Structure 1
Amino acid sequence: MRNGREWDRRSLLRGAAVLAGAAATAPLAGGAAPALADGGDADALFRAGEFERAGRAYEEMLKKDPVNVHAARRRGYVALLSNQFQDAEKYLRRAVELAPDDKEANHFLADCYTRQDKFSLAVPRWRAAGEEGYATLFAAFRGEPYQIHGDVGRVPWRQLDPAPMLQASLNGGPPINLSFYTRVAQLGVSQKAAEDAGIRAVTEDKLEYEGRTMTIWSGILDSFRLGGIELRNIPVGWSDDDGPGIGDGLIGTWILYHFLTTVDYAGRSLILRRRTPETARAARAAAARSGAEPLPLWLAPEHLLFTRGSITGAIGSGPRVVALNLGGTGEMAVSMPADTVERLRIRTDHDRPVEAFAGGQPVVSHPCYPEEVRLGSAAAHDVYCYADDRPALGREGFDVHASFSHSFFKPYHVTLDFTGMTAYVARGRATP
């Protein structure tokens, strides 16, 4: 079995098949980090999700020790979480200059360039990070990637459960059924959809998953049309094992972060708007009218979304870093690690284990019922959740208190501003 990072990278290539294992999402958290953070230790601050304070602490470390690779890498990563590309490049380039073979620093810098569509700069960094597949794919691009045509794409969903479903077109072909999920990166489609669209494979690889071997390919899609929006020259992946997934594939975060994106659960639609100062102002004004609180938005390599939220059992957690898992499947509203559930004294049904896979790894969960789960002004009470036997710390390097998923968002619409790195969760339908 591949390690967690490798699976996360390759999972996006499986298209709709990912949905078969998406119900158990990644709840990563721990209870000890906030107490450690009080000591001002930079790593403890970072693990606790106190990113601004951690960034300042790493800067102080670099003033005292300018060749500290770890401090430079982490300071660059802090900036990358908030799409502060100038600072991210500054510190990550320093880390790479100090340690050219540091795979993690190269990975972060590659991601930084990729988010800005600077694929030619990303290629050597992906290669240095050991991600030859990404390096080969991005080196094959000619011309501007992610060319946007149109201003607004509003696409109604054909269904809500078990996963949102909408229609899009590949290379001018007939509409196909796609879902979306922010726990995958690029667009992933079925093998048939790739063949029908005439997509040529740029990379080919093998992956062992749940006892079987599948072939995965990636290539370049000339045209992707979603409502009134067309994207040209974008990455796409597919495999020879689409599994029992839903529809013809998944739209990942790489597409969503090119827009001011609204996932309108209440209105059953996906809305993509060009990222402009005008659309950002309109989003802020709409959120203010709806009473939605602005929430921080963090993007961890290379596509996972995070904000702050809280969980209340017999004890309340206070605001902590939580995952925003938009799309996918799952009947639970939130999943949490078992140690957090115990610490908060949340009522749990230990007699009814639920076995599933997440990220290619087996996960055992138990139903639990917190008194409240909250994202800003959006809340649910005594709602069905999961307590999972997952590790306290994920590959992101910081504790994630809980994962808010599909069922939590049904009464709301969620707007993601990837320029201001702000999220809004507002009740009801999004305004036209």
Structure 2
Amino acid sequence: MSARLAAAGIGLALFLLPWTTPGGAADRAAFDRCLREGDLLGASQEARNLPKRDPNDAFAWKKLGWFELMENRLPEARVHLRRALTLDPSDRESKALLSLAWYRTGELSQSAAIQDDLGFAALAELVATLEPEAYALEGSTSVRLGLLPNSRRPKFPVRVNGKEAQFFLDTRGGMSAVNDTVARAAKVERLRNNFLQFWFWAAGKWSVKNRFGRIDTLDLGSMQVRRVPVLLPNWKGLVDGLLGTDFLSHFQTTIDYPRRELFLRRADRGRAEARRAEDNPGTRRVVLPFFWTPGGQIVLQGRVDGTDAIFLLDTLAVGRPVTLSRRLIHRAHLPAHGGYIISLRRAGLFPRVYTEVRELRIGPIVQSEQKADIGTMYDFPPAIDHMQGFPIDGILGVAFFQGYRVTLDFQHMRVILEPSESKGATEGPACAAKPVAER
């Protein structure tokens, strides 16, 4: 199994329950339609309206709490998910979301107790071992690392329990991971096995056996991070490890693609600077709101030829700047070109097709007359859609951000892009998109 396939399952580790489909009630129709048509901003607004229409509907409070969780509004999410559980104490989805809200807040014992109640003993054990604090910092609170020149993806040197390794930055995965071979050499604490299940290609359901673990010390230059939860997949030497969004959410992370640098700074120190960058009307920075799904993916709202679309920000995707799903190709009535090529990785023929887009819009960024790859089920496995509750329509890969200095600000749920040169066109002097939610 390839490293990319295993990475696709990593984001599911902290959220293991499938989503149920809304029951079709009239007051849920608009919410359901927004998700189906790729309008997350509209769905967020509809989620706020659901409890107003029926304050005694557990579904309404659950969906409101779900969107607040994706907007990183954790205190509100906890309140509303508890309200949902008061109305329906048996709802396992609400329990799983509440556990994740406690985890992202840093209340580990509360999260572990709910995971144990749900029957996820391995995950509950992992969370409990992170006490008193996961991702505790020692040494510097900020660090600048040079990206390694032999990779098109963001790759940088680290030390795992004192052992040298090379990690990638993975915004598609929630949980970080260390190759089992590296983990054994570094004496990473090994916990229970866990099975991740997902659908892949036409081969049906795959079950991947992974073991949870905990890194005692992860050194990134002069910064040391203690008690880092990880998965321990067997990648047979292809990849040493990945840092997922669960790790990145504790920092303000900047990938400077033109200079080939990675900059990490403890999150609370970046609040004022991030807000100043957004408010300065003379800046060339582009500010895009994002959602952080329960599976750990960073997703952005966009439009393709006037059709709403949900894009995944993927720092591991190389190739054309944009890859679109076949679902979006049909919805937006886009053409398909190309044929088949030989793939040694997949041991056979597979389609290498592309489409042509008249206008691609991501916030204020507008690109015209662009070619985009058409992804396969390898790029858009149905399980990813199933686990986070809505379909992904496109992927923004490394090439899309190649000319930018990209900052991930989880405190304000913003991606800040500083172009080194003009990329497409932008609208508005401040280049600031509508925020996900005002704080």
TM over 0.5: yes
The question of whether the paired residues in 1 share the 8 Å contact of 2:27 and 2:50 is answered with no
Where does residue 273 of structure 1 map in the other structure?
265
User: Which one has more relative contact order, counting CA pairs under 8 Å at least 6 apart?
Assistant: 1
Give the deviation of 1:309 after TM superposition.
2.1
SS for the counterpart of 1:351 is strand
Give the deviation of 1:154 after TM superposition.
1.4
Equivalent of 2:114 in 116, 119, 125: 125
2:232 counterpart of 1:238: yes
Extract unaligned runs of 5+ from structure 2: 1-5, 14-25, 422-439
Give the Cα separation in 2 of the matches to 1:234 and 1:320. 34
Equivalent of 1:228 in 222, 231, 244: 222
Deviations 1:327-375 (A, max 9, x none): 21321222222242244343421423787999xxx99662223234343
Letter in 2 for 1:328: L
Equivalent of 1:251 in 243, 249, 255: 243
The question of whether the paired residues in 1 share the 8 Å contact of 2:288 and 2:363 is answered with yes
Deviations 1:218-251 (A, max 9, x none): 1221111113322111212213x314634x1111
Give the Cα separation in 2 of the matches to 1:197 and 1:134. 22
2:208 counterpart of 1:217: no
Where does residue 107 of structure 1 map in the other structure?
96
Where does residue 407 of structure 2 map in the other structure?
415
2:357 counterpart of 1:366: no
Give the deviation of 1:307 after TM superposition.
1.8
Give the deviation of 1:38 after TM superposition.
12
Number of corresponding residues: 388
Equivalent of 1:375 in 342, 358, 362: 362
Assess, with a 3 A threshold, how the Cα gap between structure 1 residues 323 and 205 changes in structure 2: closer, same or farther: closer
SS for the counterpart of 1:294 is strand
SS for the counterpart of 1:301 is coil
Give the Cα separation in 2 of the matches to 1:71 and 1:206. 31
Give the deviation of 1:167 after TM superposition.
0.4
Deviations 1:120-151 (A, max 9, x none): 11112223444332112112233221112322
Where does residue 287 of structure 2 map in the other structure?
294
TM-score calculated relative to the size of structure 2: 0.77
The question of whether the paired residues in 1 share the 8 Å contact of 2:408 and 2:415 is answered with yes
2:323 counterpart of 1:335: yes
Equivalent of 1:307 in 277, 300, 303: 300
Where does residue 28 of structure 1 map in the other structure?
none
Give the Cα separation in 1 of the matches to 2:331 and 2:155. 37
Deviations 1:12-61 (A, max 9, x none): 88xxxxxxxxxxxxxxxxxxxxxxx9997333345531144212221213
Letter in 1 for 2:47: G
Give the Cα separation in 1 of the matches to 2:385 and 2:131. 39
- Structure 1 segment 27-426 matched on structure 2, within 5 A: 41-47=30-36, 48-49=39-40, 50-63=42-55, 66=56, 68-149=57-138, 150-159=140-149, 161-171=151-161, 173-205=162-194, 215-239=209-233, 241-243=234-236, 245-246=238-239, 248-276=240-268, 279-286=270-277, 288=280, 290-312=283-305, 316-317=306-307, 320-325=309-314, 327-352=315-340, 366-388=353-375, 394-426=386-418
Identical amino acids, percent of aligned pairs: 23
Give the deviation of 1:178 after TM superposition.
0.9
Where does residue 26 of structure 1 map in the other structure?
none
Give the Cα separation in 2 of the matches to 1:125 and 1:399. 27
Assess, with a 3 A threshold, how the Cα gap between structure 1 residues 282 and 357 changes in structure 2: closer, same or farther: farther
Where does residue 18 of structure 2 map in the other structure?
none
Extract unaligned runs of 5+ from structure 1: 1-5, 14-36
Give the Cα separation in 2 of the matches to 1:348 and 1:380. 19
Give the deviation of 1:296 after TM superposition.
1.3
The question of whether the paired residues in 2 share the 8 Å contact of 1:378 and 1:426 is answered with no
Letter in 2 for 1:337: S
SS for the counterpart of 1:127 is helix
SS for the counterpart of 1:267 is coil
SS for the counterpart of 2:49 is helix
The question of whether the paired residues in 1 share the 8 Å contact of 2:65 and 2:77 is answered with yes
Give the deviation of 1:397 after TM superposition.
2.1
Give the deviation of 1:161 after TM superposition.
3.5
TM-score calculated relative to the size of structure 1: 0.79
Deviations 1:149-185 (A, max 9, x none): 32212111113634221101112x2431111211222
